[in-house]
C-alpha cells in the first residue's frame, strides 16, 4: 500500500528525497526478550568524611567563632566533624552556643508603637491637614490610639483578668472593661465642657469615684465590644470637636472637682491617665507597653511640675510638710528646688518651696533632685513611693522629701 503522496514507507536509515531522516518506527518485542535479566543497580560508595587539615589545638581555638557562626564553610565542617569525636570540645561548644543565645536579643513581633506617629508625620509633611489637631491635644490623640491598638491584641480571657488601679490614696480592682468605663467617665467631664453629651447621661454624679462607680455598673450589662466602641468613639469626638474649634477653645475650664484646669492642660492630664492605665492593663497581663514619645512625655512632666507649687502650699497649710521655710511675698525670691529630669523628654525645672508666686533662681536653690523621666511620671501617678525612687539628691533632704511626697499626692484613680 502506498503511503501519503504516493510514496512507499521507508525504513530507518533511509533518507527521503528532501534530505531529512525519518524517525525510527518502534518494532514489537518478541516474548523471548522478556526473559533477559534486569541490569543490576549501580551502588555508589559512601561519601568520605571531610578531610581535616587542623590539629586539635586549632580546632579548639575555632569553637568561639563557630558558636558565632563566623567560621568559613571548610572550618565549620572540620569543627563539626571534630565535635563528633571529642567530648570535651563538644561540651565546650554547647556552652558557647548557649551563651551566644543569651546575648542575642529577641525581636518583638509587635509593631513599633511610634509607627502611627511616623506615618502621620510623613503624610502631613506631604499634605498638611486642612483641619489640624491642636498641638496640645496631640498627646491625648496619640495615647488613646495606642491603647485602642493594644486592645486589638487581646482575647476574651484577657478581658476578664483583674486590673489593679493604684494611686497615692489607695487602690481598686477592675476588669479591663471597667478600666475603659473609668477612663470614659472622666473623659466625659471634658466632653461636657466642649458641648458634647455626658456618657453617663443627665444628672450624672460629678466626683471621680462616683462617676467610676456608675460607669462600671452600667458597663457590666454590655459586651466588651460595646464598651470599647463607646470609649473610643468618645475620644475621637473630643479630638474632632477641639480640632474644629481650633486654638480658641484652649482656655475653656474643665472641672474635675478636685481641681479646675484649662482644657489645654486637661487634655494632657487625660492623656497621662490613659498611658498610666494602659500600663496597669499591660502589667496585669504581663505584656510589654512602651512609654510615650519624648515630646509627649515632656508635656506630662511639665504639667505635673507646674501643679507642684500649689500642691506643696496646700500640704504646708495642712501640716504635712517637714522642711522649715520663710514667709515669701509675691514676686520676691524664695527657696528653690532644682528638678533635673534625665533621659528622653527630660529637662530642668525650678520649683518654689515657700510660695507658689515666689521667684525661683539658681542663687536661691537649696536642693537638687535628679530623676529619670518615666520614673518621675510613675511617682506622679502614685505608682512609686518617694522613699523607693532611684533619685540623685543633694542639699536640703527635708525639702526634697516634701516635693517628692507632693508629687505623689497629686495622683488619683
Query: Of 370, 383, 375, which Cα lies nearest the Cα of 338?
Result: 370
Neighbours of 64 (CB within 10 A): 15
For residue 290, the 8-state DSSP code is: P
**Span 300-409: which CATH code?**
3.30.1050.10
Strands (E), 322-388: 336-342, 347-352, 365-372
Residues 6+ away with beta carbon under 8 Å from 219: 177, 178, 180, 181, 227
Strands (E), 203-346: 253-255, 260-262, 336-342
Q: What is the 3-state secondary structure (H, E, C) of 1-55?
A: CCCHHHCCCCCCCCCCCCCCCCCCCCCCCCHHHHHCCCCCCCCCCCCCCCCCCCC
Q: Looking at residue 69, what is its pLDDT?
A: 81
Q: Which long-range contacts (CB under 8 A, 24 or more apart) does 8-17 make?
A: none
Residues 6+ away with beta carbon under 8 Å from 368: 337, 338, 339, 340, 392, 393, 394, 395
This prediction's pTM = 0.70
CB 348 within 8 A of CB 340: yes
Q: Looking at residue 10, what is its pLDDT?
A: 46
Q: CA 325 to CA 348: how far, in whole Å?
A: 23
The angle subtended at Cα 155 by Cα 153 and Cα 158, nearest 5°, is 100
The yes or no reply on domain 132-290 and CATH 2.30.30.30 is: no
- Residue 371, helix vs strand vs coil: strand
Q: Looking at residue 299, what is its pLDDT?
A: 96
Q: Distance of CA 119 to CAs 32, 110, 151, 291, 335, Å?
A: 80, 16, 20, 18, 46
Strand 170-174 and strand 347-352: pairing? unpaired
For residue 16 the three cell numbers come to 527521503
Q: CA 60 to CA 56: how far, in whole Å?
A: 6
Residues 6+ away with beta carbon under 8 Å from 109: none
Q: CA 315 to CA 309: how far, in whole Å?
A: 10
Q: Which helix (H) or strand (E) holds 304?
A: helix 294-317
Domain ranges across the chain: 56-97, 132-290, 300-409
Q: Looking at residue 112, what is its pLDDT?
A: 60
Neighbours of 82 (CB within 10 A): 23
Q: 224-245 and 176-193 are packed helices; what angle lies between their axes, rounded to 10 degrees? A: 30
Per-residue pLDDT of the chain (413 residues; tens, 9 = 90+): 444 444 444 444 454 444 445 445 455 555 444 444 555 554 445 544 445 568 888 888 888 888 888 888 888 888 888 888 898 898 888 888 888 777 655 554 455 655 666 776 677 566 666 788 999 999 999 999 999 999 988 888 889 899 999 999 899 999 999 999 999 999 999 999 999 999 999 889 989 999 999 999 999 889 999 999 999 999 999 999 999 998 788 999 999 988 999 999 999 999 999 999 999 999 999 998 999 999 999 999 999 999 999 999 999 989 999 887 766 777 888 899 999 999 888 999 999 998 898 999 888 999 999 999 999 999 999 999 998 888 899 999 999 999 999 999 999 98
Q: Which residues of 386-397 are buried (b: 16+ CB within 10 A; e: fewer)?
A: beebebeeeebe
CB 271 within 8 A of CB 143: yes
Strands (E), 168-287: 170-174, 253-255, 260-262
Amino acid at each position: 500500500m502506498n503511503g501519503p503522496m504516493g510514496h512507499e514507507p521507508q525504513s530507518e536509515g533511509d533518507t527521503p528525497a528532501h534530505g531529512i531522516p525519518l524517525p525510527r518506527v518502534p518494532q514489537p518485542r518478541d516474548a523471548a526478550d522478556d526473559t533477559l535479566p534486569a541490569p543490576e543497580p549501580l551502588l555508589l560508595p559512601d561519601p568520605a568524611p571531610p578531610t581535616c587539615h587542623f590539629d586539635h589545638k586549632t580546632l579548639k581555638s575555632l569553637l568561639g567563632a563557630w558558636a558565632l557562626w563566623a567560621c568559613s564553610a571548610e572550618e565549620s565542617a572540620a569543627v563539626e566533624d571534630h565535635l563528633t569525636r571529642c567530648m570535651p570540645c563538644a561540651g565546650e561548644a554547647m556552652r558557647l552556643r548557649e551563651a551566644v543565645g543569651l546575648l542575642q536579643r529577641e525581636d518583638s513581633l509587635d509593631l513599633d508603637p511610634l509607627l502611627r506617629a511616623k506615618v502621620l508625620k510623613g503624610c502631613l509633611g506631604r499634605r498638611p491637614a486642612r483641619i489640624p489637631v491642636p498641638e496640645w491635644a496631640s498627646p491625648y490623640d496619640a495615647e488613646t490610639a495606642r491603647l485602642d491598638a493594644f486592645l486589638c491584641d487581646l482575647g476574651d480571657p484577657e478581658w476578664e483578668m483583674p486590673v489593679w488601679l493604684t494611686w497615692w490614696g489607695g487602690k481598686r480592682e477592675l476588669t479591663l472593661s471597667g478600666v475603659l468605663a473609668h477612663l470614659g467617665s472622666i473623659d466625659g467631664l471634658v466632653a461636657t465642657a466642649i458641648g458634647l453629651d455626658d456618657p453617663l447621661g443627665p444628672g450624672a454624679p460629678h466626683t471621680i469615684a462616683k462617676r467610676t462607680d456608675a460607669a462600671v455598673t452600667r458597663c457590666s450589662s454590655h459586651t466588651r465590644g460595646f464598651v470599647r466602641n463607646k470609649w473610643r468613639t468618645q475620644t475621637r469626638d473630643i479630638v474632632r470637636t477641639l480640632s474644629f474649634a481650633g486654638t480658641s477653645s484652649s482656655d475653656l475650664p474643665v472641672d474635675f472637682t478636685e481641681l479646675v484646669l484649662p482644657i489645654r492642660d486637661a487634655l494632657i492630664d487625660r492623656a497621662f491617665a490613659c498611658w498610666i492605665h494602659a500600663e496597669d492593663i499591660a502589667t496585669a497581663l504581663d505584656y510589654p507597653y512602651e512609654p510615650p514619645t519624648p515630646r509627649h512625655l515632656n508635656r506630662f512632666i511639665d504639667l505635673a511640675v507646674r501643679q507642684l507649687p500649689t500642691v506643696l502650699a496646700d500640704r504646708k497649710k495642712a501640716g504635712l510638710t517637714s522642711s522649715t521655710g520663710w514667709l515669701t511675698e509675691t514676686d520676691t525670691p524664695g527657696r528653690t528646688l532644682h528638678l533635673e529630669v534625665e533621659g528622653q523628654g527630660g529637662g530642668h525645672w525650678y520649683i518654689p518651696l515657700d510660695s507658689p508666686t515666689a521667684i525661683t533662681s539658681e542663687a536661691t536653690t537649696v536642693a537638687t533632685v535628679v530623676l529619670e523621666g518615666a520614673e518621675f511620671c510613675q511617682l506622679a501617678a502614685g505608682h512609686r513611693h518617694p522613699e523607693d525612687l532611684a533619685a540623685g539628691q543633694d542639699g536640703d533632704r527635708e525639702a526634697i522629701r516634701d516635693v517628692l511626697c507632693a508629687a505623689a499626692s497629686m495622683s488619683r484613680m
